[in-house]
Structure 1
């Protein structure tokens, strides 16, 4: 036997003694029929009366005496079985979402972590191979400098692996919580304890999105010609490892950022200069988020003096975060790496007027002749000239427009790192679409 109210198993001899306790209600049923009785909550004000209604205004279960007392006059009272049914429906929906959508999404994200770690190792090997190939051609005096560069690679590997491990920990932690919630919800579904079920609060919103996924700009090794007087500089430059997270506070990484959502204090990003992304830009400007930085007073972070000591004509940012500038005074295009300036291009008879980085990583430079009678746009890969587009004043506009049509794409104007449109006239104009 079993008391379906007290949830106590009884032998036949104990049934009478159990029913003798009249301080509370009892219902003794065969053991096979246990759980068939609805376990109504006891009224906190009129014990031992049971609550068969729920006051929507006060959000508490109430009994008939509560209603007659007038405490809940003009309040909307709902049958407590309706509350039970609605809660169980919510639990069922949450359980299905967790099992069918949320849990598999986290499992898939967790399964990608080993491949990401392997990719880091492979890319590290590629960087090391490029570094060693350059080092073999150099004199034995630069071995210590090679080791310094190798240490930089290893440090960045540690940063990258640490970021991936942090991501893995966040995903696994959330995955464990999801699995535990699934077990708890499965228990609630078979429970008839109204108090326990009524206290249920959905956590699906907390798990609906994956933890913020970091973005990384991988380092590259760029060798230079050997110069024993400047061994360290000639060995090559190793770009920084850049690990960026969405605009979200470091302490709140474990929570999701909803679409159109909250303002966040700042971004976690290692470079001082961030290039534009390949994403299309909207024709209608709108504020996506406010970014509060610690440099509100306009503080200078870093400055480099140009070789000519004249103001640059134009600047652009490479994918790795380097700064490229056009110097009209000495007809040069220069790359700034840290505090070092490397001259990439120098043209005789032509002065650079504007430049940008193409989606392919190539450099696009707009130039005018020294006599200002001709204009052209030159495409460079590194320091190598790949393409020249040039017209003079006598060319018909129809020919220019036809060239633009063939090279255009459905992209908004005004952004680096996207497919490019170039229009060349006597007074040059560059449009990026």
Structure 2
């Protein structure tokens, strides 16, 4: 509507319907002009509440008392489930010594709550859902194109197979042609020899017939028998044709050789549902992971393993020993910590020194020249997991003693540099339960935490902003809750986490998309894990005390 060329609508009186409104009856909820105010209250009803129009609906409308119908209930009884009561009810024996609260106070509190909820819905929740809807609509719009691209890739693979099969067939046909030439040469050679003998026989027959007709005595008497020469027949040559033995087609094996379709999975990133994206890593996953070797450590509860140079590994269990093993499984070094300092996690710093956390003493410790020295001590926090970043910083996960808070802290030496605890909405990133939370840094500098208390993997970027959460992948064969006890990454920025109760490893890409399970190799209760310099996976079996080395990349 053009305000310069048309009249604007104004409120009109509800009684005369013509005059401009001036007042409002907050009891009867009608708009009134000045003349109609008098007419409206002529009934003498003393409950009319006339207020300026701009202050309409400012008067509270109290509920009527069920016991005393002519009275309004302006209080609530705390002892009677907050029922509404009037002044007469308050004075009755039924509510003797009860505590009351004014309805106006409750009303104001509720109004404030409603305003807060309205603001939250309008400014945060509703826009978030709109963004989720737009994201899903975009995914649906791109769905056909994505699957068309997928089927096109399959068709191209099929065409490549057809070309390779044609090449193989043509190569075999060439081999057959070469064999045929050899076959012909053999037969031609023997035929030539037979033809020569036939020519000699013909010449001999001609000479015999001449002698037979001749009357010369000398030539006839000198004749010697010629049949013996030709009676010894040459060996019969029989050359067999080559044969083609087709191999049986194993459809299942052929299917696996043709390619692999990764299963559909979901993950969350900043509360947005993401559909499956396919792995584009340079180094492909092995079709079937292979168990290379097993090291028996003797631990009753083997928890953590880390790989160091020269094929050595450090391990810890539920005792105060830290043991080093070589590639043959021999214990080459043991570090004994104080009896109360049972290590929770271990790491190797940029100088090659061994670090370990102790929740019991609330410390991070360094082993240098065979001696243990305290690096960091906490007052109210218990350290759990730790890792060394690519730039030499230290990341530590920790919980409070009363299980109310969890966080990740970055240190340079013993100096605190960064705290990661809440998301952009002020909500905790990690579960508050006093459960193990192991940590690692990915090659893209993401900080990855296996949050067993939340049954999730939580990944933030180096600034501490939430990137994604992984809450497991649906399985038709396993039904135990996802229990990510430990976490590691590899040279392809894959994220690997143990699933303790389901006896398997989850392999994800750097965006939290599920790639595969490692659930063979007779894994039992996998706990700690790491990847060595040769891209082999080392996995701790908690109760068996074994470290299994598994090849999972091509």
- Give the TM interval when normalised to the shorter protein: 0.3 to 0.5
Q: Compare CA radii of gyration and give the structure with the larger one.
A: 2
Structure with greater strand share of residues: 2
TM-score, normalised via structure 2 length: 0.31
Which has the larger helix fraction?
A: 1
Task: Pick 1 or 2: higher relative contact order, CA cutoff 8 A, min separation 6.
Answer: 2
